[in-house]
Each structure stands twice: as structure tokens, then as C-alpha cells.
Amino acid sequence: MRRPLGGWLVFVLGPALALAACSRRGEEQFIPPEATARQALETALKAWQGGQEKPGKLSLGKVGIEVVDPAWQSGQKLAGYRITSEERGEGPPRFTVQLGLPKGEQTVKYVVLGKDPLWVYTEAEYRKLSGS
């Protein structure tokens, strides 16, 4: 039995068209609201300052938080922190943070993206991930 050509086209092109529509808004769906991004960053920094030795299981309500920060991962202690600025434009929210580390004060930019989990990256690690 022969199938009509139109049915075949819908079967083959339907998923491709759906993917194309999703890709336009695809990145945007993983950009959290600025307030949520800031809360995730603060939750991570408080855990680090509170003595958590390495990034691990963190949460913001029912949402998980994953942290990618080489200084924390290497076991450095955080004496204190201060979020000095927030940047919002194209892409995910970015925050500039003054960190109090054993080697002295250090300014680090963080990027927060995702929905569940929320990912908190140093800007350097985010650039490696994104290839920029």
C-alpha cells in the first residue's frame, strides 16, 4: 500500500521544524531570573564560607545547585565575600564578587545558568565550557 507523500513529509520534517523552533528560545529557557541566580550564588558562597570543603550537594528550595569553581575545588578556604556588581544583558546573569582567600583578596566573575540544577560557574570555567 502506498502512503501519500504529504504524510511522509510531516513525519520527517515535523521533528526538524520543532527543533528549529526550540533552538531559537532554547538558550533563553536555561537563563534563570536574576534574583534566582543571585540566590544560587549566595547559597554557594555561604556554604563555602561556612566550611564546606568542596562544591557538593547544594539546593535552593527544591532546586539543586552545582558549582564549578577551581579555587573551592582545590580546597581553598573562603574567609568572606562581597557581591560588588550584577551584569544582565545577552546571556546568563553575571556577578562580580570580591573573595577573601588565603592568598588575599581576589575578584572573580561568576555566571549562573540552568533551571534544575542551577549551575554556578566562574567566568573562566564558563568560557571553557562555552568555547568563547
| 99: helix, strand or coil | strand
Task: Tally the domains of the chain.
Answer: 2
- Are residues 37 and 83 both part of a single domain? yes
d(CA 50, CA 89): 31
Query: What confidence tens digit (pLDDT) does each residue in 36-84 have?
Result: 999 999 999 999 999 999 998 899 999 999 999 999 999 999 999 999 9
d(CA 32, CA 14): 29
pTM for the model stands at 0.79
- Are residues 52 and 116 both part of a single domain? yes
- Are residues 75 and 126 both part of a single domain? yes
- Are residues 75 and 123 both part of a single domain? yes
- Are residues 50 and 93 both part of a single domain? yes
pLDDT band, residue 25 (cuts 50/70/90): low
- Are residues 25 and 44 both part of a single domain? no
Grid cell digits, residue 28: 533563553
Q: What is the residue range of 41's domain? A: 31-130
d(CA 68, CA 120): 6
Residue 63's region, left for phi above 0, alpha for psi from -120 to 50, else beta, is beta
pLDDT band, residue 17 (cuts 50/70/90): very low
Grid cell digits, residue 16: 526538524
